[in-house]
Amino acid sequence: MFKLSALGEGQTGLRRLLSLLALITAGETIFFLPFVLARVFRPTVLEVFSLTNLELGTAFSLYGIVAMVAYLPGGPIADAFSPRRLIATALITTAAGGLVLASVPSLSSLKLLYAYWGLTTIALFWAALMRATREWGGDIAQGAAFGLLEGGRGLLTAVIGSLMVAIYATLIPEDVLSATLEQRTEALRQIILLLGGMTCATAGLVWVTLPRRRRRSQPLSSSFNFRGVVHVIKMKVVWLQAFIILCAYVGFKATDDFSLYASDVLMLNEVEAAKVGTVSLWIRPIAAIAAGYLADRTSAGLMTTMSFALLAAGSLTLGCDIIQSEMNGFYLLTIICASLGIFSLRGLYYAIMKEGAIPLTFTGSAVGLVSVAGYTPDIFMGIVIGHLLDSSPGPLGHQHVFLVVFGFALMGLAGSMLFCHLTRQKPILHTALDNNC
């Protein structure tokens, strides 16, 4: 049996399943408004909000800057307080921002909104979600726990993304090209309000489903400090994990370009391009769950290495002058390859913590620390992608974007190989450190 704490101990199979479903739903709906909307409807968002790629990227970067500040204190907070309260509060405050977005605010207001979301989705949410998932997985199913979390999140996004595209298509004229800006704006506004309502409803699901009480492994006064941060900051594998996440996250941020690539290179209309963008979303649950399952039976480090190899192959193909208009099938195969690597890595980000011998007691602190470094692409990738696309319009700009991704994929490949080497040398630390803490 798993040795579980807050989200597992004493729970029936049904309660455990409901807890996992709540974590999956919360883990994705909180990002619908800040990121999934623009990922699926990027051409429409640019037009409705009168933005350039660089301006949208700047808003993303402000989110990233605030998030970087929020990650570190978010770790000790997650180690001290109930996931139920933290996650529900984060969802409600994020949903409130949807009302502002639906008003189609100015660029300056949009930047402030993204900065606000950087706080609501990170400080009270991210480390709490990761700790709750690690506790759910117990001693022998870390890969399965994080694979199911990421895969479930991916399946939810694929379903909701496809549904939103279908709804959007019904809200504008059948001849998409004849739709006026006003019609596009109103249709997008309805999508925003629907996503905001779903985010708020998820807060209710979390409040009802997750346990009311948390079993503390240590007194609140000693857990709510930075002792865990001091401990994990000394561990080499923590910094290596942060580097691996950074390289993998660059690839994930580039998925924002899939639908615009289809529009600019394959010359598809906005609805067709959005449908192409959802293909990557459907790969996510398959890749993440499979990677987590295989990681428990082989090695999370090995699966991370193989995933970076897939990402490198796919991004190099997109970065070269190979794909032309009307090569829709080849483009789909290429983004499937890249997406397999990207979303396998997302299922493995935190599954490698056990192989790295990071104590469960300090999970929140470790997540906060690696996130500060690992998610820095939230700061710079939006600006990089926007600059490359605006400075080299058409296919060339997209090629430059994916050549950047290819470079980071190679660095991630090297980092994951080093991680495998280090963790093989110290296998006994897994139990020793947990017992000492």
Query: How far is the C-alpha of 303 from the C-alpha of 137, rounded, in Å?
Result: 18
Q: Is residue 241 part of a domain?
A: yes
227 contacts: CB under 8 Å, gap ≥ 6: none
Mean pLDDT of 191-201: 96
The residue to which tokens 């983004």 are assigned: 335
- Tell the residue number behind the tokens 């490198």, with chain if given: 312
| Average pLDDT for 329-340 | 88
Query: Which residue from 307, 292, 305 is spatially nearest to 423, judged by alpha carbons?
Result: 305
User: 80: phi > 0 → left, psi -120 to 50 → alpha, else beta; which?
Assistant: alpha
CA 36/CA 163 separation, integer angstroms: 13
Number of domains in the chain: 1
Report the pLDDT averaged over residues 390-404: 91
Range of the domain at 139: 13-213+223-436
Q: What is the model's pLDDT at position 300?
A: 82
pLDDT value for 197 = 96
**Residue 22 dihedral angles phi and psi, to the nearest 5°:** -65, -40
Q: Establish if 6 belongs to a structural domain.
A: no
In this predicted structure, what is the pLDDT of residue 45? 92
Rounded to an integer, the average pLDDT of 276-295 is 82
Q: The CATH number of the domain where 208 resides is what?
A: 1.20.1250.20
**Is 5 inside a domain boundary?**
no
Which uninterrupted H or E stretch holds 181?
A: helix 181-209
The pair of three-digit structure tokens given for residue 58, joined into one six-digit string: 């700047």
Would 258 be classed as within a structural domain?
A: yes
Which is more confident, 420 or 146? 420
Q: Is 68 helix (H, G, I), strand (E, B) or coil?
A: helix
* Alpha helix stretches (DSSP H) within 254-325: 258-264, 270-297, 300-319
Q: What backbone phi and psi angles, to 5 degrees, belong to 414?
A: -65, -40
Q: Is residue 218 part of a domain?
A: no
- In order, the DSSP letters of 7-52 are TTTT--HHHHHHHHHHHHHHHHHTTIIIIIHHHHSHHHHHHHTT--
Residue 92 has a pLDDT of: 97
Q: Does residue 435 surpass a pLDDT of 50?
A: no
pLDDT given at position 217: 45
pLDDT band at 143 (very low <50, low <70, confident <90, very high): low
Question: How is residue 299 written in tokens?
Answer: 């090695």
DSSP 102: H
Does some domain include residue 164?
yes
Of the candidates 363, 347, 301, 313, the residue with the CA atom closest to the CA atom of residue 138: 363
In this structure, are residues 366 and 358 in contact, taking their beta carbons and an 8 Å threshold? yes
Residue 319 pLDDT exceeds 50? yes
115 has pLDDT over 90: yes
pLDDT > 70? residue 71: yes
Residue 2 lies in a domain: no
pLDDT at 280: 80
Per-residue pLDDT, averaged over 98-127, amounts to 94
For residues 301 and 355, the answer to whether their CB atoms sit within 8 Å is yes
For the chain, the first-to-last Cα distance in angstroms comes to 21
How high is the pLDDT of residue 227? 63
Look-up of token digits 């694929």: 158
Most confident of 118-122, 370-374, 427-431: 118-122
- For the chain, give the mean pLDDT: 82
Q: What burial class does residue 435 get, using C-beta atoms within 10 Å of its C-beta: 0-12 exposed, 13-18 middle, 19+ buried?
A: exposed
CA distance 395 to 409: 21
- 10 Å CB burial of residue 79 (0-12, 13-18, 19+) is buried
Do 288 and 343 contact (CB within 8 A), yes or no? yes
Query: Is residue 45 within 8 Å of residue 37, measured between CB atoms?
Result: yes
Range with lowest mean pLDDT among 83-87, 90-94, 198-202: 83-87
Residue 7 lies in a domain: no
